Amino acid sequence: MTSHIKLQFAHPPARPGDKPDFSSLEIPQAGTLPVLAHDVAAQDCIDHANSLVRVLNDAGEAVGPWAEYLALEDPDALRSGLRDMMKSRIIDMRMMNAQRQGKMSFYIQGIGEEAVGCGFQRYLRKGDMNFPTYRQQGLLIAAGYPLEKLMGQFYSNSFDPLLGRQLPTLHSAREYGYFTVSGNLGTQYVHAVGWAMANALTGQDTIAIGWIGDGSTAANDFHTALLSASSYWPPVILNVVNNQWAISTYTGVARGHGRTYAARALGYGIPAIRVDGNDYLAVLAASKWATERVRQGHGAVLIEWYTYRVGAHSSSDDPSAYRPKDEAKAWPLGDPIERLKQHLILIDEWSEARHVQAESEILAEVIEVQKRVEAAGTMLDPQPIPGASLFKGVYADTPEHIRRQRQEMGV
């Protein structure tokens, strides 16, 4: 063959057996980027979309303009943020265990990404609506969603508000601003824009928030949502949780030769910032800024949360088959719980002893709820939902053909 034309394929810097390598990442010092005006235009976000908003430095100090903007004086707020993240992690660890024991079919954990959902939730108000995927449980935990319902959903028993219809972690909690989660990636991103348009059209001052993973930004619906948000400028925040992996697929496959996911928005004329997603304070600052922007009517914005998926993709996945075993430890942005804990200890608002105590309190609470929920049936000992519920809610009114099928089933 005489052709010089060749394809290129994206590769992660390290595979199993290699030393983890994040040397090519550009991680700026904390506190270097200015705070943007709420009505900033896309062309003035180029630095923010390509760099990283960070507040906590390596020593655990909150530094720079975004720290000042956040002006968080109440340490209780940070302590409760820390507790949210710890609760999220403890639930994940216990549920993964329960899955391994065969008590539930499947589980998706968010270990390492706790700051994103737990922090973002702080700036939401009643009536705001998240359009999450399966890994945003932190939003519910920080919103104070009852743990019985959260866990009932995993066990598909009588505690499950969704009557066993959905896979674990595909929650629906309207009162808590959590839209019903679909297993089909990306679909919800457009719904967020439509919901936000409805808010604007009906004169409500609530906002909509789309959530998507880095891998799923490849889906048509990501681009559809950006295009629609760009056309109509509704009150929507479009979040991309970049946790570096889409199951086994390295993030570079979805990103291609683009530089960042945040920069994608700029092409649509949508302002965008990229944020250290393992820095709880940076998450708060960016969430505060973005929610203020859209509430003030300045239109859509995109945030890329830069983080790392520490655990397996799901309980069915084995990441040691496609990435170095100790890659998570080498992730340069650290662990969100450890970083916030370090900061709180540094400002004398926390201690190792209080941390240990908090851990045991949260663990006790989770175990207590878990026991109660498990008593209503697990996969090992199912006490399932009545069979007829399978036919309920397919339509508002049950048509005759479904009524007959119900009869045939004998329920």
Q: Which residues bind ligand TPP (CB under 6 A)?
A: 135, 183-185, 213-216, 219, 243, 245-247, 309, 313
**Per-residue x/- marks for another protein, 340-379, CB under 8 A?**
---------------------------------------x
- Is 189 strand, coil or helix? helix
For residue 314, the minimal CB distance to ligand TPP (Å) is 7
What single letter denotes the amino acid at residue 289?
W
Nearest to 133 by CA among 152, 147, 115, 117: 117
- Please tell me whether residue 249 binds another protein under the rule CB under 8 A: yes
In the list 29, 101, 248, 360, the residue contacting another protein (rule: CB under 8 A) is: 248
In the list 35, 142, 225, 254, the residue contacting another protein (rule: CB under 8 A) is: 254
- Please tell me whether residue 164 binds another protein under the rule CB under 8 A: yes
Which residues are paired to 304 by β-bridges? 240, 274
**Per-residue x/- marks for another protein, 268-307, CB under 8 A?**
----------------------------------------
Task: Report the residue number whose CB is nearest to ligand TPP.
Answer: 213
- Please tell me whether residue 98 binds another protein under the rule CB under 8 A: no
- Please tell me whether residue 320 binds another protein under the rule CB under 8 A: no
- Please tell me whether residue 396 binds another protein under the rule CB under 8 A: no
Q: Among another protein, ligand TPP, none, what binds residue 218 when CB lies within 5 to 8 Å by partner kind?
A: another protein
How many residues bind another protein (CB under 8 A)? The answer is: 50
- Please tell me whether residue 196 binds another protein under the rule CB under 8 A: no
Measured CA to CA, the distance from residue 253 to residue 45 in angstroms comes to: 24
Nearest to 335 by CA among 274, 276, 268, 273: 276
Length of the chain: 411
DSSP 114: H
**253 versus 345: smaller Cβ distance to another protein:** 253
DSSP, residue by residue, 269-335: T--EEEEETT-HHHHHHHHHHHHHHHHTT---EEEEEE----S-SSTT--GGGTS-TTHHHH-TT--
Kind and range of the H or E run holding 209: strand 208-213
- Please tell me whether residue 129 binds another protein under the rule CB under 8 A: no
Q: Among ligand TPP, another protein, none, what binds residue 135 when CB lies within 5 to 8 Å by partner kind?
A: ligand TPP
Q: Among ligand TPP, another protein, none, what binds residue 72 when CB lies within 5 to 8 Å by partner kind?
A: none
DSSP 137: H
- Please tell me whether residue 180 binds another protein under the rule CB under 8 A: no
Alpha carbons within 13 A on the beta-carbon side of 333? 31
Q: Among ligand TPP, another protein, none, what binds residue 17 when CB lies within 5 to 8 Å by partner kind?
A: none
Q: In the numeric block, which tokens belong to residue 407? A: 């009869």
Q: How far apart are the first and last CA of the chain?
A: 67
Q: Contact, 38 vs 289, CB < 8 A?
A: yes
- Please tell me whether residue 184 binds another protein under the rule CB under 8 A: yes
In the list 80, 161, 322, 376, the residue contacting another protein (rule: CB under 8 A) is: 322
DSSP, residue by residue, 19-77: PP--TT---PPTT-SPPPPTT--GGG-HHHHHS-B--B-TTS-B-SHHHHHH----HHH
DSSP 122: G
In the list 186, 235, 271, 324, the residue contacting another protein (rule: CB under 8 A) is: 186
**318 versus 352: smaller Cβ distance to another protein:** 318
**92 versus 221: smaller Cβ distance to another protein:** 221
CA angle 137, 177, 211 (to 5 degrees): 55
Q: Among ligand TPP, another protein, none, what binds residue 330 when CB lies within 5 to 8 Å by partner kind?
A: none
In the list 116, 139, 207, 219, the residue contacting another protein (rule: CB under 8 A) is: 219
Q: Among another protein, ligand TPP, none, what binds residue 309 when CB lies within 5 to 8 Å by partner kind?
A: ligand TPP
Measured CA to CA, the distance from residue 15 to residue 12 in angstroms comes to: 7
- Is 210 strand, coil or helix? strand
**Subset of residues 3 to 62 that bind another protein, contact rule: CB under 8 A:** 7, 9, 15
Measured CA to CA, the distance from residue 351 to residue 345 in angstroms comes to: 5
- Is 240 strand, coil or helix? strand
Residues forming contacts to another protein in the complex (CB under 8 A) are 7, 9, 15, 105-106, 156-157, 160, 163-167, 170, 182-186, 215-216, 218-221, 246-249, 253-254, 256, 316-317, 321-322, 379, 382, 384-385, 387, 389-391, 394, 401-402, 405, 409, 411
